[in-house]
């Protein structure tokens, strides 16, 4: 799908969204367009237009138990807010694991919907993002402009 942050490739099984990839190429219609892909595209379009703040989709990202726990924590960071890697680690009762949290954050297979872009350095600076820092900045500014919270980073 086309989006303000580039072409996104969405994948699913019959029932769950599995991944979103950046820098995809549009190559005609997909072989099979599942109901969950239609719903995900609709909700992403609403998010990018500023009318959706929460996603309501069946997700099934592939990852380790620790990654799954990190991604669950990421999903609880509110729209228009940010948290640091250390805050996510503390939320998992694993304060010494902020680097592992960063690694799990970087391997998030469903960016935007699992909002890894909302995680920043403890000093308030933007840090790495699998989709590139320009996309991360765009997503954070987009949420800031469509939120009551006026101070993201």
Q: Round to whole Å and give the CA distance between 84 and 148.
A: 20
**Catalytic pick among 116, 120, 140, 152:** 116
116 labelled catalytic = yes
How far is the CA of 72 from the CAs of 54, 99, 113, 117, 132, in angstroms? Answer: 14, 17, 11, 14, 22
Q: Round to whole Å and give the CA distance between 152 and 145.
A: 10
Residue 129 CA, chain-centre distance (Å), reads 10
Percentage helix, strand, coil, to 5, in the chain?
Answer: 40, 10, 50
With b meaning 16 or more CB within 10 Å and e meaning fewer, what string describes 33-61? Answer: ebebbebbeebbeebbeeebeebeeebeb
Residues acting as catalytic residues: 116
């Amino acid at each position: 799908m086309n989006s303000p942050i580039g072409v996104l490739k969405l994948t699913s099984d019959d029932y769950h969204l599995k991944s979103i990839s950046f820098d995809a190429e549009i190559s005609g219609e997909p072989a099979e367009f599942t109901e969950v892909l239609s719903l995900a595209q609709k909700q992403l379009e609403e998010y990018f237009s500023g009318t959706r703040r929460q996603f309501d989709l069946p997700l099934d990202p592939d990852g380790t138990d620790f990654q799954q726990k990190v991604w669950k924590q990421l999903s609880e960071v509110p729209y228009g807010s940010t948290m640091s890697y250390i805050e996510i680690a503390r939320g998992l009762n694993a304060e010494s694991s902020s680097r592992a949290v960063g690694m799990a954050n970087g391997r998030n297979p469903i960016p935007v919907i699992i909002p890894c872009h909302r995680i920043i350095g403890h000093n308030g600076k933007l840090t790495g993002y699998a989709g590139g820092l320009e996309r991360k900045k765009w997503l954070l500014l987009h949420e800031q402009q469509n939120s009551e919270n006026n101070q993201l980073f």
